[in-house]
Amino acid sequence: MSLKIAFCASNAPIAQSALAGLSRRYGNHAEKGADVIVALGGDGFMLHTLHRTEELAAPVYGMNRGTVGFLMNEYSEHALEERLAAAEEAVINPLSMRAHRADGSDHRALAINEVSLLRAGPQAARLAIHVDGKLRMPELVCDGALLATPAGSTAYNYSAHGPILPIGAEVLALTAVAAFRPRRWRGALLPKAAEVTFEVLEAEKRPVMAEADSQSVRDVVRVDIRSEPSVAHRVLFDPGHGLEERLIREQFV
């Protein structure tokens, strides 16, 4: 029995061309009721697809029609059904962000990769960090800070010199971005169940924005972050090229 495959693609011409060719060859079912969703694009489009389809039962299999493609498989039109049947599954729990703004409003979002706080003005940000309600760092002067999942540990977190985390690790990476004080603080590894609060000090003088997988909230005064076990993203990878293997391989580049 043939798999019911739903294809989606970014707006890039190369992705749209792949969408047309794959649809002609395998058909294109509606996402609701599909056995699997195939996303054509880069990592950004993959994250967008995972967020957009998080309430659907079908897993998502990405094929790279973008740039880096860390979350994607190699592109090919051939033997797709066989590749999907043999694919390995990784389950990713996102982070839940609740951002409190200076005007009193709250904004909630989910992040598969990371939640980051970034200075939004000419001066460095001043942040206090609480873990499970306990003040752990009274003042971090920096360009920003972030909390990353294992799946997102090779993205912005790695660029900020944070650690790469194995996909099965029950930890989160707390990483500073261009820390000025304390200069030698290299971040922390926290239990997956930890609840982290960033408090923005001198928020009016030193404005800060928060981002959850590129969903931005400006003028935040406090950001609460925790893992969201009730949401599970199912991502498929070709055998031998799963997310765990990619995370290990990335450390030897």
State pTM to two decimals.
0.89
Residue found under tokens 């992705």 = 15
Tens of pLDDT, residue by residue over 93-126, are 999 999 999 999 999 999 999 999 999 999 999 9
List every span in the chain annotated with CATH 3.40.50.10330: 5-92+232-251
> Strand pairing partners for 250?
none
> Is 35 annotated as catalytic?
no
Strands 36-41, 215-217: parallel, antiparallel or unpaired by DSSP? unpaired
What pLDDT shows up at residue 82?
Answer: 96
pLDDT digits (tens, 9 = 90+) for 229-246: 999 999 999 998 777 887
The CATH architecture that domain 95-227 belongs to is Sandwich (2.60)
Is residue 119 within 8 Å of 143, Cβ to Cβ?
A: yes
Q: How far is CA 221 from CA 126, 217, 250, in A?
A: 11, 11, 35
For 22-60, how does the pLDDT look when each residue is reduced to its tens digit (9 = 90+)?
Answer: 999 999 999 999 999 999 999 999 999 999 999 999 999
pLDDT at 1 over 70: no
CATH 2.60.200.30 positions along the chain are 95-227
Residue ranges of the annotated binding site for NAD(+) are 43-44, 48, 113-114, 143, 151, 154-159, 178, 215
Q: Which CATH architecture has domain 5-92+232-251?
A: 3-Layer(aba) Sandwich (3.40)
79: burial class by Cβ within 10 Å (0-12, 13-18, 19+)? exposed
* Residue 209: predicted pLDDT: 98
Q: Which of 35, 43, 103, 219 is catalytic?
A: 43
In the annotated binding site, the residues are: 43-44, 48, 113-114, 143, 151, 154-159, 178, 215
